[in-house]
Chain A
């Protein structure tokens, strides 16, 4: 049961909200934690058990880490905590036949609790319930945003549900749903069609269109999910961090990844890059640290070689930017835009095509210098272009700065509410007619 699932929208969510709103504030964490476990159970029963077990172990570990023993002793326990969580994640990601829902995300969330308590940045959770509500809350359970313990635990303890928060959250949720169902899923069909035709047979323009389609699909799919999560959080009284900040406005690959899946990037910065020494220990060490972070990022997404390649390619460009490319990009903004818009879709192709042979074929279609291609139709991009141009333009329109200011100014007007209401039912219509996919990031 994902957030764009009709059973979630029409059954789980209304029932949950009713109980949650009617319940006195001090019991809301019980409702939230219980509801989240039920939600997880709907996705997968064993998954719910693994989630509960993970939270329980983490709770014990944070209590242990809080006690006044020697630094070495505490360090040992922290090591144990990291080993347990990372080991569990690795087992399920790379060994087990199926991935328990949200494990990649809540494992990272739970790790922040252990590390923050170890660092004495924050007090340990006062109760199992508190930790459970923090780590398992259903809006962010399946695909984040990954919230750090020190950022969120205070809200778990004290938060206020307001009418405005509910309306704002609901509006965000509908926008997120529309991003996902209308834009991402439609462009997903183009990518699917390209796979169906086979990479050998697509024309070069279509290959580029496909790279763009997949990039936009991934952005709107994940951004849509994240908006829904933040919106749901807002309805429940939380202020969850935003996960996307218009990545395609970035002027370098490093900036792109400060704007893309921001919560994961922050996590890697705070809990991996900086502990490794960050950029304060000389150029060589910085380069190694960056590559290490990107290697881990790649592995986090998957173990097939293409994810490794993807992470390392990004690491390479980010290192280049740090060394000398950055100065060039700073000097010429237009060049920087072109660089990002050219390079990023190519990296997403590496991300999308898990089989290296097919990946090679795709790149020969993108750059047909040596000919190649079998039964290529040179005009296929025109046919597809006609069908999908509108959706590309819509994606562009809602991503431009004007859209931000319009949203900020008008979201709470009657006109916006009527539009959002209509948009919601359009989305439901599209879900009912089966023109949609599950969220892409559920696979990670």
Chain B
């Protein structure tokens, strides 16, 4: 069929199909197709047509320029379905619960009467403030009223006040009396969640004197000293006696990683390619998300490429490092993310019950990005990190926060370390593994 004088078949066909698409989009903007779960079809265009448009300012505009740009940066094919408002709402919510828990935390901390004095001595005042604290969520701190302070700290350090609202000194108020570290006090207010590494709070406790950085593992010491009164001198050995199986971070040699697995997104592919450490196993893929992690076909085993699920059923590891979460920022809420994250952690534990599981906080982005991006910004990242940190149990699951070593004085990702504001340059990827080396858990068995 050739174009004749007055026929324009291509134009007509295109015009008709575009009209249909635009009509579908316009109808979907009113939520007509929301009941169909089209995300599961794995076809973003269908999702966009059928439901994604409802949240957009304008049909056909995927997210907005920034979001679009980001999805490219992160090599993620997910369409950002305009859920920024949800994310922001989630942030506000959490901020409120955070402040509530912060107050509770004061009380709880009073109960446990831990100070960061111990860590202060170890690390200098500034580091003390930052190394402890953060982590833990509002829910957990309900327990603070009973006098326990669930710790899972180790993040949010070296940052200024705008630094993602972490770095608090839990228990510092109470600890003030027992705590020689005065710097803890001003930070207290900024602590949204505040929980600390209580073990580190026991001055003189032998358990942590050799810990490279306090915080990181969570020590449920509150229950140990339920009757402690504010300002009371703490029995330095109480925590250690009550929880003999709690572990502290220590320096480990490179061989430690011979049976280690590092799972994660594009940031881990960078480590795989450019750290120069090849004794680890890496299951990493750009754009990997916690939602589809186990189905990711990235595992090389016995000359085949398997999904992570299959590979973990075939081979067992001594340590598993999980670094994931940045690609998920644009979709869902913190709660929906954490639901998937917790499920993934549970599933990992189920598949590899003997492995030490390290959950890694999401690495920050550079300041200019953080300040201009509605999705990929450090407050939002820290909000998720706080929740990830809370998963640490001090026995099998440990929280590691790379941000301790890659941030600059503003508390954002050091601009010298990155070109695209999100990923480390190849020459700095080894920082991950050096950090892991200084934060190893060794269980005597």
Contacts and interface: CB of A to CB of B under 8 A. Distances in A.
Interface of A: 6-7, 9-11, 14, 163-164, 166-167, 170-171, 189, 192-193, 195-198, 200-202, 374-377, 380, 383, 412-414, 417, 420-421, 424-425, 428-429, 431-437
25 contacts: A6-B62, A10-B22, A11-B60, A163-B7, A163-B8, A167-B10, A170-B14, A189-B75, A193-B75, A197-B274, A198-B425, A374-B426, A375-B427, A375-B430, A377-B273, A377-B276, A412-B2, A417-B1, A417-B10, A420-B10, A421-B13, A432-B60, A432-B62, A434-B71, A437-B72
Interface of B: 1-11, 13-15, 17-18, 21-22, 44-45, 48, 58-63, 67-68, 71-73, 75, 77, 79-80, 270, 273-276, 418-420, 422-423, 425-427, 429-430
A7 B60 contact: yes
A189 B72 CA distance: 8
B268 to A, nearest CB: 14
B273 A10 contact: no
Contact of A198 (B9, B10, B14, B427): B427
A166 B418 CA distance: 48
B4 A198 contact: no
Contacts of A421: 10, 13-14, 17
B306 to A, nearest CB: 18
Contacts of B418: 196
Instruction: Say what secondary structure dominates the interface of chain A.
Output: helix
B10 A171 contact: yes
B9 A201 contact: no
B420 A201 contact: no
Nearest to B13: A421
Nearest to A436: B72
B68 A434 contact: yes
Given A167-B11, A189-B72, A421-B14, A435 B2 contact: no
Nearest to B80: A434
A432 B15 contact: no
A200 B10 contact: no
A197 B61 CA distance: 30
Given A189-B72, A421-B10, A167 B3 contact: yes
Contacts of B425: 196-198, 200-201
Contacts of B274: 197, 201, 375, 377, 380
Given A201-B427, A432-B62, A433-B79, A163 B3 contact: yes
Given A377-B274, A380-B273, A195 B419 contact: yes
A11 B26 CA distance: 13
Contacts of A193: 75
Contact of B63 (A412, A425, A434, A437): A434
Given A7-B58, A166-B8, A375-B276, A434 B14 contact: no
Contact of A10 (B10, B60, B67): B60
Nearest to B70: A434
B134 to A, nearest CB: 28
Given A374-B427, A434-B80, A14 B72 contact: no
A412 B62 contact: no
| Residue from A192, A201, A420, A437 with most neighbouring chain B CB atoms (10 Å) | A201
Give the one of B8, B10, B21, B427 with max A CB within 10 A.
Answer: B10
Nearest to A193: B75
A193 B4 CA distance: 47
Contact of B273 (A11, A166, A383, A420): A383
Contacts of B419: 195-196, 198
Given A189-B75, A192-B72, A375-B275, A167 B9 contact: yes
A171 B80 CA distance: 31
Nearest to B423: A196
Contacts of B426: 197-198, 200-202, 374-377
B265 to A, nearest CB: 13
B415 to A, nearest CB: 13
Nearest to B58: A7
A379 to B, nearest CB: 8
B72 A434 contact: yes
Contact of B62 (A192, A420, A434): A434
Contacts of B13: 417, 421
Given A166-B11, A375-B276, A432-B48, 11 more contacts: A163-B4, A170-B10, A196-B270, A196-B418, A200-B426, A201-B425, A202-B426, A375-B427, A417-B13, A428-B45, A434-B80
B406 to A, nearest CB: 15
Contacts of A11: 60
Given A167-B11, A198-B425, A433-B45, A10 B18 contact: yes
B396 to A, nearest CB: 33
Q: Which 6 A-B pairs have the closest CB atoms?
A: A201-B426, A198-B425, A434-B71, A6-B60, A197-B426, A374-B427
Nearest to A425: B17
